[in-house]
Amino acid sequence: GFDTESGISVAWCELKDRNISNEERKRFFEEANMLKKLDHPNIVKYFDFFELQIENRQSKYILITELVPSGTLKTYLKHFTTVKEKIFKNWCRQILKGLFFLHSRNPPIIHRDLKCDNIFINGADGSLKLGDLGLATNRRAEFAKSVIGTPEFMAPEMYDECYDEAIDVYAFGMCILEMATGEYPYMECSNVAQIYRRVSQGIKPEALDKVSNEVVRDIIERCIQHTKAKRLTIKDLMKMDFFKEEEKKPPLDNNLASDVTFSIKILNTVHDEPWNIRLSMVFNEKTVDQREERVIDFRYFYLFDTCQSVLSEIIDTNILPQNLSLEIFSCIEKYIEQLNTAKRESETNKEIFSDDPTGTSKTILPSSCLHIPIKLGKRLIKVSMFYGDRDLNRNLKKKKSIGEKDS
């Protein structure tokens, strides 16, 4: 659906009246109100809820939630059977962050039905959100003491109707198992009774034998321990080296950017609109092999652009180190000033200006330059980088440039 007040697309979830009692109706509104207060990037946002009267004195209970357009993690796993370890870890971290948020509420909130079908993915940025929290409840609620969930992901204590947030850790282990193998836990069972018998006896799913990564297998086994006291906690999992986030490396080590040579030139003429400008930076190192050069071709619309706006867009792409922003700004500003002067003079003298007004030597891209076409918006045309190793040509002959399509 579409929320006309906020102007955003939303999901409309209907819960049909199954002749629920007044007590159950009261609990629904209590839980819906609880869900509405939750606000976390890895939890599907619940905007509103209400009761809708229909025929024969029946009611529908409506939940209005955030719309996650790319579907569930389950659907993704059906289409992409192999998941890279980096993506796998990123998914796990996001699930853990969502669970940690729920479990850190006062009182703790238990999801109770965590599975890949209830984890939604945003294909645009790869973010995950825990959804279908209709069964979630706080640990102190009596409503939690009931057998509700998906058998393949249910911890053994759920059948005893007495459990806490440790059941979400168990379900998380089963989610990892499905992500690692592409198989639903206990696929070898033909009915719910068989699943219950294996779970209650502490028999692990056969899919566990298909997990080739020993670290992942160990994590799964420690999450799905039959005795909940032996399971890892969400905090334990988040502290594990396997799930720690990798440190984001800057585009260039700031310590290596102390000696930089700039050159800048126009690629068309001052009479063209926009100006196509090439900015080249050579990061000089102790040895030739360590030298790095970055070349950026960008457009400058002289009628309305400013040096600051151009610089901001270039810096935002994370192509250049921010510690050089002043030097880059000064370089662009001086050059644009000279271009404006040259344009005015050429219009006065009716001359076509096309040479480099700075008098600097022309920037020639060497044959070993690696062109990287990336989506940079309307401003940037191309980014090129090359390194001191002149043998790069041999590698480029064997390997296509990044972003180049197969013929």
**Residues noted as catalytic:** 132
Copy the structure tokens of residue 18.
């199954």
- Map residue 384 onto helix, strand or coil: strand
- Contact between 145 and 112 (Cβ < 8 Å): no
Count of Cβ atoms closer than 10 Å to residue 118 Cβ: 23
**Secondary structure of 21-81 as H, E, C letters:** CHHHHHHHHHHHHHHHCCCCCCECCEEEEEEEECHHHCEEEEEEEECCCCCEHHHHHHHCC
Q: How far apart are CA 9 and CA 280, in angstroms?
A: 44
Radius of gyration of the chain (CA): 29
- Map residue 300 onto helix, strand or coil: strand
Dihedral angle of Cα 386, 389, 391, 397, to the nearest 10 degrees:
-20
Q: How far apart are CA 123 and CA 343, in angstroms?
A: 47
